[in-house]
């Protein structure tokens, strides 16, 4: 009985949680411009999303492209910067370590809007013209702390003697770094990269304040502008559906693989 109510509760929550997404997904398969208006099954919105058939299509795809470019560059740079920083921080002691860890925590606690406003003021103050570059810099600044926190635990798990042994056996510091250290840090770097990537994809407020007036649109700013105009680009429906399905599949694969490896370990 207890189990029944527990299951019921979970499923009611899930149904409510997913109702809007399912609703969007259903209406991505009809042509009607207004949502909620079913005019028969049609894949036309999917076609025009990729071919830019309707007015909104090509601008939307451009925004998706910008979002991905920014996320990939920001996540890659953040992973590099964060890993190097983590190696340094791992070897720091006392006050210095506390100070840098404190600063590292600031972007994680700071709300997006404050990060956005403060960086906007920075770029104004330094007279840096705002555009793609400033958005990427801003994204690196709030993504890197997550990489640092993903890599640090791997460093403390690592046996420092292995690195020393590599040096004793004649490896140059460079070789020891790439052949011994990096492979052990790789899982941390990977999860740092994925976290950074999704943080960047998700961002709206920081991009909004640091993109300047050059007309740069990411998916978030596009949606925001679109919703303010009132008329929602119909192609957003298939796009949201695709994103939803891709993430669902990715998460299921990741989790299945993880539970598999856990089972093997046991």
Partner 1 sequence: MTKRSNWSIPYFIFLVLFVVLPLVLVVVYAFQDNEGGFTLQNIGKFFSDSDAISTFALSLEVAIENTLICILLGYPAAYILADKQLNRSAVTIVLFILPMWINALMRTLATTELFNMLGFTLGKGTLLFGMVYDYLPFMIYPIYNILQKMDKSYAEAAGDLGATPRQVFLKVTLPLSMPGIMSGIMMVFMPTVSTFAISEFLTNNKIKLFGTIIQENINSSMWNYGSALALIMLIIIGITSLFTSDDSNAAEGGLI
Shortest separation between residue 61's beta carbon and partner 1, angstroms? 16
For the chain, how many residues are written?
A: 266
| Closest CB 96 distance from partner 1, rounded Å | 8
Residue 26 interacts with partner 1 (CB under 8 A): yes or no: no
Dump the DSSP string for 195-207.
HHHHHHHH--HHH
Binding residues for partner 1, how many (CB under 8 A)?
91
- Given candidates 33, 42, 51, 88, which one binds partner 1 under the rule CB under 8 A? 88
Segment contacting partner 1 (CB under 8 A): 14-22, 44-52, 53-61, 68-76? 14-22
Quote the crossing angle between the two packed helices 132-157 and 182-202, to the nearest 10°.
140
- What the block records as the tokens of 4 is 């029944």
To the nearest whole angstrom, how small is the minimum distance from the Cβ of residue 6 to partner 1?
Answer: 4
Binding of residue 32 to partner 1 (CB under 8 A): no
Q: Does 107 bind partner 1 (CB under 8 A)?
A: yes
Residue 30 interacts with partner 1 (CB under 8 A): yes or no: no
Count CB atoms within 10 A of the CB of residue 151: 26
Residue 266, SS3 per DSSP: coil
- Paired tokens of 155: 């460093």
Distance of CA 101 to CAs 37, 118, 148, 152, 190, Å? 53, 20, 9, 11, 21
Nearest CA among 245, 241, 264 for reference residue 253: 245
Among 32, 61, 76, 117, binds partner 1 (CB under 8 A): 117
The window from 5-13, 38-46, 50-58, 68-76 that contacts partner 1 (CB under 8 A) reads: 5-13
Interface residue with partner 1, options 162, 182, 214, 254 (CB under 8 A): 254
Residues numbered 203 to 242 that lie near partner 1 (CB under 8 A) are 204-205, 208-209, 219-220, 223-224, 227-228, 232, 236, 240
> Could you count the other beta carbons within 10 Å of the beta carbon of residue 213?
8
String marking each residue 170-209 x if it binds partner 1 according to CB under 8 A: ---------------------x--xx--x--xx-xx--xx
Binding to partner 1, residues 41-80 (CB under 8 A): none
Which 141-160 positions form the footprint of partner 1 (CB under 8 A)?
141, 144, 146, 148-150, 153, 160
Verify binding: residue 21, partner 1, rule CB under 8 A.
yes
CB 157 within 8 A of CB 166: no
Which residue in 259, 246, 221 sits closest to 59, CA to CA? Answer: 221
Instruction: Give CA–CA dist 146/26, Å, rounded.
Output: 36
């Amino acid at each position: 009985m207890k189990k029944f109510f527990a299951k019921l509760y979970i499923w009611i929550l899930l149904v409510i949680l997913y109702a809007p997404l399912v609703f969007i997904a259903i209406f991505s398969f009809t042509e009607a411009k207004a949502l909620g208006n079913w005019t028969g099954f049609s894949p036309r919105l999917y076609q025009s999303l990729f071919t830019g058939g309707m007015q909104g299509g090509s601008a939307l795809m451009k925004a998706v492209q910008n979002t991905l470019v920014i996320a990939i560059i920001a996540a890659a740079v953040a992973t590099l910067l964060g890993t190097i920083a983590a190696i340094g921080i791992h070897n720091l002691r006392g006050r210095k370590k506390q100070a840098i860890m404190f600063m590292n925590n600031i972007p994680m606690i700071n709300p997006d809007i404050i990060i956005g406003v403060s960086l906007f003021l920075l770029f104004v103050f330094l007279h840096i013209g705002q555009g793609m570059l400033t958005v990427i810099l801003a994204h690196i600044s709030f993504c890197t702390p997550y990489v640092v926190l993903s890599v640090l635990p791997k460093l403390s798990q690592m046996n420092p003697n292995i690195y020393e042994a590599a040096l004793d056996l004649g490896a140059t510091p460079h070789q020891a770094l790439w052949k011994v250290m990096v492979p052990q840090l790789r899982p941390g770097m990977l999860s740092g990269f994925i976290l950074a990537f999704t943080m960047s994809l998700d961002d709206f407020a920081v991009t909004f304040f640091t993109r300047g007036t050059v007309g740069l649109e990411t998916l978030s700013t596009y949606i925001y502008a679109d919703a303010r105009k009132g008329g929602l680009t119909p192609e957003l429906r298939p796009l949201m559906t695709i994103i939803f399905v891709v993430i669902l599949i990715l998460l299921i694969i990741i989790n299945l693989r993880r539970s598999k490896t856990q089972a093997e370990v046991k």
